[in-house]
């Protein structure tokens, strides 16, 4: 924020430089150096010690978290009245925290015993798929007391259940739901760097150039059963140059050109592990990671968009002739 000089928001009556805009146009101008050396420094911190409890239904205290924003700017002359510089740096350090309440299979459920569900839902039934009409499912037999014999549990099912932790809190509905709590510490680090040069070639001709860069890294625990952090890195490089030239008392030349390049890569904590074939034993599956593969774990509703690798670039230029004599 310390590097911004002006912000202009236009919602209608756009000028020539904003003619292709739909809805609203936001223009942000970076500060420039002057004949005097000036600078600033800042630091902000927010801590979670006095905030409200994150999870109302949990007895656990708030885990430690904080947000630190620090940086500074400096600007001044390279050649008095002609050439100036301005630079700024800002770092954002976020160490967040949250208490997630989740549901995992109980010890009895892992052996095929679902009788705990009958404690709050007497109508609960599990039907034997090998009985009755196999086409319509009619007249199937019920497993007594909602207990599936151990020899009827598929090896793949047992392998999937084995990756989940056991309950660690009492939970609800006879301990079958909301029975696992996990403290998570997502982290994000972002650095923004800006540098600008202004050259007053003459009283009528000004040229400027700017370079900005953002580096960001994030890390967070993924959905169960993962208990390790995955994350990603994002880099944005932006440069722009411009010129304003007063050709005559009634004619001004204004031109700008710029480029914005973004690179991003992120992946889950278990990327590269062949869970489908080697861990769960599902024939015909050959993809790495529970988060990001298209076979195996994602059928249970986990993330399908990882890993993600992106490269995007935008290049733009504009020029306009402003003739005050054309105005009505």
Task: Quote the pTM value.
Answer: 0.71
Which residue's structure tokens are 């880099």? 235
Under 8 Å between Cβ of 279 and 159: yes
Please determine, for residue 19, whether its predicted confidence score (pLDDT) is greater than 50: yes
The backbone torsions φ and ψ at residue 216, rounded to the nearest 5 degrees and listed phi first, read -135, 140
Number of residues written out for the chain: 328
The structural domain count of the chain equals 2
Range of weakest confidence among 73-77, 234-238, 268-272 = 268-272
Q: Does a structural domain hold residue 282?
A: no
**Is 93 found in the same domain as 114?**
no
Q: What is the 3-state secondary structure (H, E, C) of 62-113?
A: CCCCEEEEEEEEEEEEEECCCEEEEEEEEEEEEECCEEEEECCCCHHHHCCE
pLDDT > 90? residue 199: yes
In a domain, 119, yes or no: yes
On whether the CB atoms of residues 307 and 253 are closer than 8 A, the answer is no
**Shared domain check, 213 and 317:** yes
Helices and strands (DSSP H and E) totals, the chain: 3, 12
Task: Say what the pLDDT of residue 45 is.
Answer: 87
| Mean pLDDT of the residues in the chain | 83
Domain range for 111: 107-162
The tens digit of pLDDT for each residue in 65-91 reads 788 999 999 999 999 999 999 999 999
DSSP of 10-60: E-SS--GGGTT--S-EEEEEE----SS-EEEEEEEEEESTTSPPS-TT--S
Do residues 131 and 210 share a domain? Answer: no
Q: What is the rounded distance in angstroms from the CA atom of residue 39 to the CA atom of residue 165?
A: 53
pLDDT at position 76 is 95
Burial of 150 (0-12, 13-18, 19+ CB in 10 A): exposed
Handedness of CA 115, 118, 122, 123 (dihedral sign): negative
Q: 13 and 70: one domain? A: yes
**102 assigned to some structural domain:** no
Do residues 226 and 319 both lie within one domain?
yes
- Are residues 9 and 152 both part of a single domain? no
In this predicted structure, the answer to whether residue 297 has a pLDDT above a threshold of 60 is no
Residues 146 and 201 in one domain: no
**Inside any domain, residue 180:** no
Taking the CA atoms of residue 223, residue 215, residue 261 and residue 230 in that order, the dihedral angle to the nearest 10 degrees is -20
Interatomic CA distance for residues 170 and 155, integer angstroms: 28
């Amino acid at each position: 924020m310390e590097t911004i000089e002006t912000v202009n928001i236009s919602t209608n009556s756009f000028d020539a430089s904003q003619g292709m805009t739909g809805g609203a146009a936001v223009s942000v101008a970076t500060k420039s150096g002057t004949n005097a050396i000036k600078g600033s420094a800042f630091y902000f911190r927010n801590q979670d010690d006095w905030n409200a409890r994150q999870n109302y239904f949990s007895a656990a205290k708030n885990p430690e978290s904080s947000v630190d924003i620090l940086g500074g700017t400096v600007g001044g002359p390279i050649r008095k009245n002609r050439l100036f510089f301005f630079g700024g740096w800002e770092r954002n350090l976020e160490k967040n925290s949250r208490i997630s309440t989740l549901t995992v299979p109980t010890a009895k459920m892992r052996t095929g015993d679902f009788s705990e569900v009958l404690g709050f839902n007497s109508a609960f039934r599990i039907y034997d798929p090998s009985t009755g009409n196999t086409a319509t499912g009619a007249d199937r037999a019920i497993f007594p007391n909602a207990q599936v014999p151990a020899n009827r549990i598929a090896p793949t099912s047992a392998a999937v259940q084995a990756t989940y932790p056991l309950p660690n809190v009492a939970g609800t509905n006879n301990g079958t739901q909301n029975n696992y709590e996990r403290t998570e510490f997502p982290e994000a680090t972002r650095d923004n760097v800006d540098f600008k040069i202004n050259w007053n070639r003459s009283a009528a001709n000004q040229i400027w150039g700017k370079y900005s860069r953002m580096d960001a890294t994030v890390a967070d625990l993924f959905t169960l059963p993962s208990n390790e952090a995955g994350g990603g890195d994002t880099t944005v490089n932006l440069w722009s140059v411009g010129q304003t030239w007063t050709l005559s008392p009634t004619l001004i030349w204004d031109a700008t050109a710029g480029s914005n390049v973004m690179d991003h890569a992120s992946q889950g904590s278990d990327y590269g592990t062949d869970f489908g074939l080697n861990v769960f034993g599902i024939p015909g599956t050959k993809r790495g990671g529970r988060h990001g593969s298209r076979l195996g774990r994602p059928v249970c509703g986990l993330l399908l968009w990882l890993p993600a690798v992106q490269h995007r670039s935008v290049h733009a230029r504009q020029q306009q002739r402003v003739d005050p004599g054309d105005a009505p």
